[in-house]
């Protein structure tokens, strides 16, 4: 499903269904004045539909960059197909080891580079900053902030399960927005390391990050974009994380 989030940013996603509800896998496309940028390139499960959607949105343009939040298959599963379709594309990852070990050998190594947290990429006058992911499911996970639109791309962080009725809906199209329980169920499943986390410290780091960046939109890979009421959704995520950490500590979740 293709949806325009804001300005020139589109999400392209399809769902898988499980016991906890629907889980979407998104790819984000910034058209960026003729120098398009992809955030992740999706799951191989959705390859045909994704490539068709990208062809439609790009309308003959070639993406300049793919920025990977991390190299897991739901995020990098179509990198080879993207590279074959647009062989001049460049790939940016967060960890210097990823180009040599974890990324499919889809491109010459000189087209795959690493940027550390705090690094900046400027494409067609647009500034994107690479952010150390506070919720990582791989050591090389990164978040990406687009200063032009105030969009924070958060990889698996801020993910949530949703009902069939909520497929494709942004948070401002859902009565009451995304709930604590939706964040809680997803983060309990996705981040098993939370059993060793002190929630107060994690939440304080989240507060500091959102004080540093003027976030207007949160764009998770496993959820539809959160538009508006960002402080409220941040508060709900922190409440969810506090409960998940407490549940693990109490032995509720094994």
Structure tokens at 27: 């790819």
Q: Please state, in angstroms and rounded to a whole number, the distance separating the CA atoms of residues 191 and 138.
A: 10
Q: Among candidates 207, 233, 228, which has minimal Cα distance to 216?
A: 228
Write phi, then psi, for 69 (nearest 5 degrees). -70, -35
**Per-residue confidence band for 75, with pLDDT thresholds at 50, 70 and 90:** confident
Q: What is the CATH number of domain 2-174+213-228?
A: 3.60.15.10
* 106-137 confidence digits (pLDDT tens): 778 788 888 888 999 999 999 999 999 999 98
Q: 86: burial class by Cβ within 10 Å (0-12, 13-18, 19+)?
A: middle
Looking at residue 166, the DSSP 8-state letter turns out to be: G
Share of the chain above pLDDT 90, in %: 72
More confident residue, 10 or 103: 10
Q: Please state, in angstroms and rounded to a whole number, the distance separating the CA atoms of residues 213 and 59.
A: 32
Q: Among candidates 24, 15, 16, 32, which has minimal Cα distance to 67?
A: 32
Q: Three-state DSSP class for 53? A: helix
Q: Is the pLDDT of residue 68 over 70?
A: yes
Instruction: Supply the mean pLDDT for the chain.
Output: 90
Residue 58: enclosing H or E segment and its boundaries?
Answer: helix 47-58
More confident residue, 156 or 102: 156
**Edge-to-edge order in the sheet of strand 112-114:** 2-6, 9-18, 21-30, 37-39, 65-67, 90-93, 112-114
The domains of the chain are located at: 2-174+213-228
* 18-51 confidence digits (pLDDT tens): 778 899 999 999 999 999 999 999 988 899 999 9
């Amino acid at each position: 499903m293709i949806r325009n989030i804001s300005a020139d940013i589109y999400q392209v996603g399809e769902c898988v269904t499980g016991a906890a509800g629907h889980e979407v896998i998104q790819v984000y496309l910034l058209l960026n004045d003729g120098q398009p940028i992809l955030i992740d390139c999706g799951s191989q499960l959705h390859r045909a539909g994704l490539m068709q959607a990208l062809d439609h949105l790009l309308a003959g343009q070639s993406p300049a960059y793919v920025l990977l939040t991390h190299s897991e298959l739901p995020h990098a599963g179509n990198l080879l197909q993207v590279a074959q379709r647009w062989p001049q594309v460049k790939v940016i990852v967060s960890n210097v080891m990823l180009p040599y070990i974890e990324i499919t050998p889809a491109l010459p190594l000189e087209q795959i580079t690493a940027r550390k947290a705090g690094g900046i990429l400027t494409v067609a006058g647009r500034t994107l900053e690479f952010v150390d992911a506070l919720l990582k499911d791989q050591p090389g996970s990164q978040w990406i902030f687009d200063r032009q639109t105030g969009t924070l791309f958060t990889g698996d962080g801020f993910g949530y399960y949703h009902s069939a009725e909520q497929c494709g809906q942004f948070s401002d199209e859902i009565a009451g927005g995304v709930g604590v329980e939706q964040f809680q169920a997803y983060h309990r499943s996705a981040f098993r390391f939370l059993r060793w986390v002190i929630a107060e410290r994690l939440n304080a780091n989240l507060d500091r990050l959102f004080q540093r960046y003027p976030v207007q939109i949160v764009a998770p890979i496993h959820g539809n974009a959160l538009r508006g009421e960002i402080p409220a959704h941040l508060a709900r995520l922190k409440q969810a994380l506090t409960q998940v950490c407490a549940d693990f500590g109490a032995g509720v979740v094994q």
